[in-house]
């Protein structure tokens, strides 16, 4: 082992990790555990920190969870979140891949890619809150920019209230989400493609592969890890969607058609009723959903060859041990 000399230094590995571990335990682990626990209690009311477990007050331990799962509003909020995420993610990854293919193509050498990349990434740095309010004003009723423009194009047209109708609201939120994130995804994917060894592309070119073949047979398999990363982070971000729907439409407008799971949780906990226990149960459910979906993604997109090699190695080790 090359690191035999380092054994003496092992303690620094622990020492240097202490700040991270401490901060993690205080600000993440403890609150998560606390959230789990609150889910099984009767904690509610503003500023209240006293609570009892539900069985102690004569209720089912899982009452909060059952209440949340039964609530129509929770199901609706979760459905809304998923629909908006999917409507934003499909065009997002689609355009990101398209631009990645164009900007990294060795044969056509597009000029100005640097400028385009900088422009496309720009919406991502803008505060989502600002973006949401801006779009709310643009789609305003009756005198928002969109209604004005359509009025000019078609005189005598009645202004349309986009923000109270189920489908347009979701489309607008999904569009803002797409608008803010396609550049980010593209930059990540491009970074992955740049990391691929040029020899592979040269070989493909010599073998007569055309652009489309090269992209689907070589580029995409090579950036699978990054695609997985983009997919998982986008899924987590998407299921936690809050800023844009909250400020673009809010919980009170739009007949609840734009309430996401996180808005639902915040309303339960901090808006009037202070049902901390039920909000905690709802966020635990959301967390479990995210873990389950991420696990599925990791499993589906895992490197099958690598897994096979690992299995073989393990089997060999076992055989060797038995032999000894």
Closer by beta carbon to other proteins, 1 or else 324: 1
The one among 86, 149, 167, 203 contacting other proteins by CB under 8 A: 149
Residue 293 phi, psi dihedral angles, 5° rounding: -65, -40
Assess 314 for contact with other proteins (CB under 8 A): no
Q: What's the Cα-to-Cα distance from 1 to each of 7, 9, 320, rounded to whole Å?
A: 11, 15, 20
Looking at residues 254 to 273 of the shown chain, list those that interact with other proteins (rule: CB under 8 A): 262, 265-266, 269-270
Looking at residues 205 to 244 of the shown chain, list those that interact with other proteins (rule: CB under 8 A): 222-226, 229, 232, 236, 239-240, 242-243
Q: Give the number of other CB atoms < 10 A from CB of residue 236.
A: 13
Q: What's the Cα-to-Cα distance from 292 to each of 139, 297, 299, rounded to whole Å?
A: 37, 9, 11
CB of 170 to other proteins, least distance (A): 19
Q: Which two tokens stand for residue 20?
A: 């991270």
Closer by beta carbon to other proteins, 130 or else 255: 130
Looking at residues 270 to 299 of the shown chain, list those that interact with other proteins (rule: CB under 8 A): 270, 276, 279-280, 283-284, 286-287, 290-291, 294
Rounded (10°) CA dihedral 249, 253, 259, 263: 80
Looking at residues 159 to 198 of the shown chain, list those that interact with other proteins (rule: CB under 8 A): 179, 183, 187-188, 190-192, 194-195
89-118 footprint of other proteins as x/- string (CB under 8 A): ------x--xx--x----xx-x-x-x-xxx
First to last CA, the chain: 22
CB 176 within 8 A of CB 131: yes
50-79 footprint of other proteins as x/- string (CB under 8 A): ------------------------------
Q: At what angle do helices 72-104 and 113-121 cross, to 10 degrees?
A: 170
CB of 53 to other proteins, least distance (A): 16
């Amino acid at each position: 082992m090359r690191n035999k000399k380092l054994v003496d230094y092992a303690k620094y590995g622990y020492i240097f990790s202490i700040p991270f571990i401490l901060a993690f335990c205080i600000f993440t682990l403890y609150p998560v555990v606390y959230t789990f626990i609150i889910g099984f209690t009767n904690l509610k009311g503003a500023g209240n920190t006293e609570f009892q477990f539900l069985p102690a007050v004569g209720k089912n331990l899982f009452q909060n969870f059952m209440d949340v799962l039964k609530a129509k509003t929770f199901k609706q909020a979760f459905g809304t979140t998923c629909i908006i995420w999917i409507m934003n993610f499909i065009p997002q990854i689609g355009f990101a891949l398209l631009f990645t293919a164009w900007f990294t193509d060795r044969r056509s050498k597009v000029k100005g890619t640097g400028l385009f990349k900088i422009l496309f990434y720009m919406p991502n740095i803008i505060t989502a809150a600002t973006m949401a309010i801006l779009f709310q004003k643009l789609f305003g009723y009756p005198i928002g920019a969109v209604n004005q423009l359509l009025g000019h194009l078609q005189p005598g047209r009645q202004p349309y209230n986009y923000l109270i109708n189920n489908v347009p609201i979701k489309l607008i939120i999904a569009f803002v989400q797409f608008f803010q994130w396609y550049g980010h995804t593209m930059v990540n994917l491009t970074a992955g493609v740049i990391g691929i060894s040029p020899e592979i592309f040269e070989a493909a070119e010599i073998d007569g592969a055309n652009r489309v073949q090269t992209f689907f047979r070589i580029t995409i398999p090579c950036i699978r890890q990054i695609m997985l990363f983009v997919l998982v982070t986008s899924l987590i971000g998407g299921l936690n969607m809050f800023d844009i729907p909250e400020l673009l439409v809010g919980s009170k407008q739009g007949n609840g058609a734009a309430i996401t799971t996180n808005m639902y949780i915040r309303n339960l906990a901090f808006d009037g009723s202070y049902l901390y226990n039920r909000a905690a149960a709802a966020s635990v459910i959301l967390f479990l959903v995210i873990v389950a979906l991420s696990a599925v993604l990791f499993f589906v997109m895992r490197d099958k060859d690598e897994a096979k090699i690992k299995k073989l190695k393990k089997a060999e080790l076992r055989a060797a041990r038995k032999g000894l």
